[in-house]
Structures are given as C-alpha cells and as structure tokens.
C-alpha cells in the first residue's frame, strides 16, 4: 500500500470522487435529454480554446471554458432560431474547434508538450488547480440541482410545455444547465481527455438506465458506476502504465455489457418463475 503515500494518488482519488458526482448529474441530464451529440460537439469545440489559450499565453483551460460556454449558448440560439439544422451545426463546430486548436498550437513557437494530455487526459497528473475547479463545479451543480430539481426535471422532460407555463423561468433553467454542461466538460478534460470524455459522460447514465427509469436513482447509480470505473481505471493506469482515460472507457464498456447481460438474465429468470 506504498502508493497511497504519494500526493498524486491522493489527488487522483479525490478528483475521481468529484468527477463521479459531475458525471452522475450532468451525464444523466445529457443522456435523458438526448444531448450526447451536442456535448460531443462542445467537447471538441473547446479544443479551439485550448489552442488559442496556448497561443495567447493564457491558461488553456480558461480558453477552453470560454469556447465551450460560447458554443453551448450558440447551439441554443441556433436551435431556437432554426437557422441551421442542429446536427449540422454541431458537426461544423466540432471540426472547427479541432481545426482551430491544431492551427494555434502549430502557430505557437516551441513545442507543446501537454497536447496529448488534453486529447487523452491523465488523472494521475491532475493538478491542484484542476481539483479546485472541479470542486467549485461540483458545488455549483449540486446547489443548482438541490434548489431547482423539479423545474430542471420538468424543463428537461418537455421544454415546450414548460415554456408554455413559465417562459422566462424555463429558458433560464435551460441556459444555466447548458453552461454547467459546458463547464463540466471542460473541467473533466484533464482527467479523461477530449476524445474519450463523451463516453465517461454517457456510459454511466446508460448503465444506470438499465437498472432504473427514474431520474434521481439514475443520478446516484451513474455516479457510483463512474466512481467504480474511475478507480479501476486508475489502478490499471498505475499498474500497466497506460493512459487513465483509455482504461476508464474500456472499464465502462465492460461494465455496460456485464450489466446488460445481468439484467437480461434476471428477466429470463423472472419469466421462468411465472
């Protein structure tokens, strides 16, 4: 148990717990609301911010946060005005973000050593700043859901109806959630990376959805699943010296298949009994 003496392991464990909470709430929200593709678009758009941040010499995560929030709000405006098909808009921004990221990284003089860590992430190298940002995000997400759980659920379920009952309130809830989704994406990049992030957000909620069809239980099960996958992924990453993001995603897929099989077998057994 030598490894628990290392500070970076403490950081990684604490970050895993925080990430699991974010994945529980935000993952369940984007899965239930069918925003997975949009979230993928925001994730990749944020790479443009990382590149620009690098080029300008400001914090890449700050650049990513600005890009992610702007693209999330931009999507919202585009869908409301129906100026462009929503999935086309997502596809365009997806590639634009990646292109800008690569463009600015190559413009920046010198070598960009951390590029891989943004694309694939590494929870073992997560810094104090990253953890502080994650902690602030967890507090914000937790507080928002605690205060507005029912309205959030109502707007997510049928935003048209919610808008017809309380137009301003429903719209505000929508916008705040889009911002929280964008920030959740950005603050998770360091741990799992841009390319693999979307599966961390979607797989746990889908595993949870195999076991329950209610929102709050889904949040709880998704968070626990994410924590389990992150811890196993962390162990694999440390033991085999592979990137943690890839390990976590593989663990999640295995967990999904196992849950699916277990639920199927349970159903068959139940039918036989009757």
Partner 1 sequence: MATQLFSLTDVWGGYDGRAVLREVSLHINSDDFIGIIGPNGGGKTTLMRLLLGEIKPMAGQIERNCPTIGYLPQAQQIDREFPITVLEVVLSGLLGQHGLWNRYGREQRNRAMECLSIAGIAHLYGRSIGELSGGQLQRALLCRAMVSDPALLILDEPNTYVDNKFEGELYELLRQLNQRMAIVMVSHDLGTITTYVKTIACVNGTLHYHPSNHITAEQLHGYGCPIQLITHGEVPHTVLQSHS
Number of residues that bind partner 1 (CB under 8 A): 30
Site map 158..177 versus partner 1, x via CB under 8 A:
x-xxxxxxxx-xx--x----
Residues 45-84, mask of contacts with partner 1 (x by CB under 8 A): ----------------------------------------
DSSP label of 125: G
Q: Looking at beta carbons only, is 167 or 239 nearer to partner 1?
A: 167
Report whether 83 contacts 153 (CB < 8 A).
no
Q: Are 37 and 87 in contact (CB under 8 A)?
A: yes
Give residues 199-218 in contact with partner 1 (rule: CB under 8 A): 209, 212-215, 218
The burial class, CB within 10 Å (0-12 / 13-18 / 19+), for 78 is: middle
Identify the residue among 5, 34, 128, 273 touching partner 1 (CB under 8 A).
34
Nearest distance, CB of residue 22 and partner 1, angstroms: 18
Cβ proximity to partner 1: between 10 and 80 the closer is 80
Contact between 94 and partner 1 (CB under 8 A)? no
Residue 217 C-beta: closest distance to partner 1, Å: 8
Q: Does 153 bind partner 1 (CB under 8 A)?
A: yes
Helix (H, G, I), strand (E, B), or coil: what is residue 52? Answer: helix
- Residue 158 Cβ, how far from partner 1 at the closest point, in Å? 7
Taking the complex as a whole, the smallest distance from the CB of residue 142 to partner 1 amounts, in Å, to: 17
Of 6, 106, 157, 175, which lies in the binding site for partner 1, with binding defined by CB under 8 A?
157
> Which of positions 133-152 make contact with partner 1 (CB under 8 A)?
147-148, 150-151
Contacts 24+ apart (CB under 8 A), 101-109: 101/47, 101/48, 101/49, 101/50, 101/51, 101/52, 102/51, 103/51, 104/48, 104/51, 104/52, 104/54, 104/55, 105/51, 105/54, 105/55, 107/55, 108/54, 108/55
Q: Which residues, 6 or more positions from 226, have their beta carbon under 8 angstroms from its beta carbon?
A: 19, 20, 23, 24, 27, 200, 204
Instruction: Determine if 106 is a binding residue for partner 1 (CB under 8 A).
Output: no
Q: At closest approach, how far in Å is the CB of 179 from partner 1?
A: 17
Alpha-carbon gap, residue 12 to 126, rounded angstroms: 7
Q: Which two tokens stand for residue 83?
A: 């100026």
Q: Which is nearer to partner 1, 32 or 96 (CB)?
A: 32
- Whether 205 and 218 have beta carbons less than 8 Å apart is answered as yes
DSSP state of 25: I
Q: Which residues bind partner 1 (CB under 8 A)?
A: 28, 32-34, 147-148, 150-151, 153-154, 156-158, 160-167, 169-170, 173, 209, 212-215, 218
């Amino acid at each position: 148990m030598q490894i628990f003496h290392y500070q970076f392991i403490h950081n990684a464990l604490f970050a895993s717990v925080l990430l699991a909470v974010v994945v529980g709430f935000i993952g369940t929200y984007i899965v239930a609301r069918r925003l997975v593709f949009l979230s993928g678009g925001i994730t990749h758009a944020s790479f443009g911010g990382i590149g620009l941040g690098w080029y300008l010499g400001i914090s890449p995560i700050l650049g990513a946060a600005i890009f992610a929030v702007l693209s999330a709000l931009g999507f919202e405006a585009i869908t409301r005005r129906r100026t462009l098909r929503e999935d086309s808009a997502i596809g365009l921004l997806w590639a634009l973000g990646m292109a800008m990221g690569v463009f600015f990284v190559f413009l920046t003089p010198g070598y960009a050593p951390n590029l891989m860590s943004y694309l694939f992430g590494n929870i073992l190298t997560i810094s104090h700043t990253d953890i502080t940002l994650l902690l602030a995000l967890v507090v914000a997400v937790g507080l928002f859901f605690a205060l507005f759980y029912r309205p959030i659920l109502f707007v997510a379920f049928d935003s048209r109806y919610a808008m017809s009952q309380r137009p301003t309130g429903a719209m505000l809830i929508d916008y705040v959630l889009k911002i929280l989704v964008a920030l959740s994406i950005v603050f998770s990049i360091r741990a799992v990376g841009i390319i693999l992030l979307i599966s961390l957000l979607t797989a746990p909620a889908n595993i949870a959805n195999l076991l329950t069809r209610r929102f709050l239980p889904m949040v709880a099960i998704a968070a626990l699943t994410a924590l389990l996958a992150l811890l196993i992924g962390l162990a694999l990453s440390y033991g085999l010296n592979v990137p943690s993001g890839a390990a976590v995603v593989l663990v999640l897929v295995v967990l999904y298949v196992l849950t699916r099989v277990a639920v199927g077998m349970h159903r068959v057994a139940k039918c036989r009994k009757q």
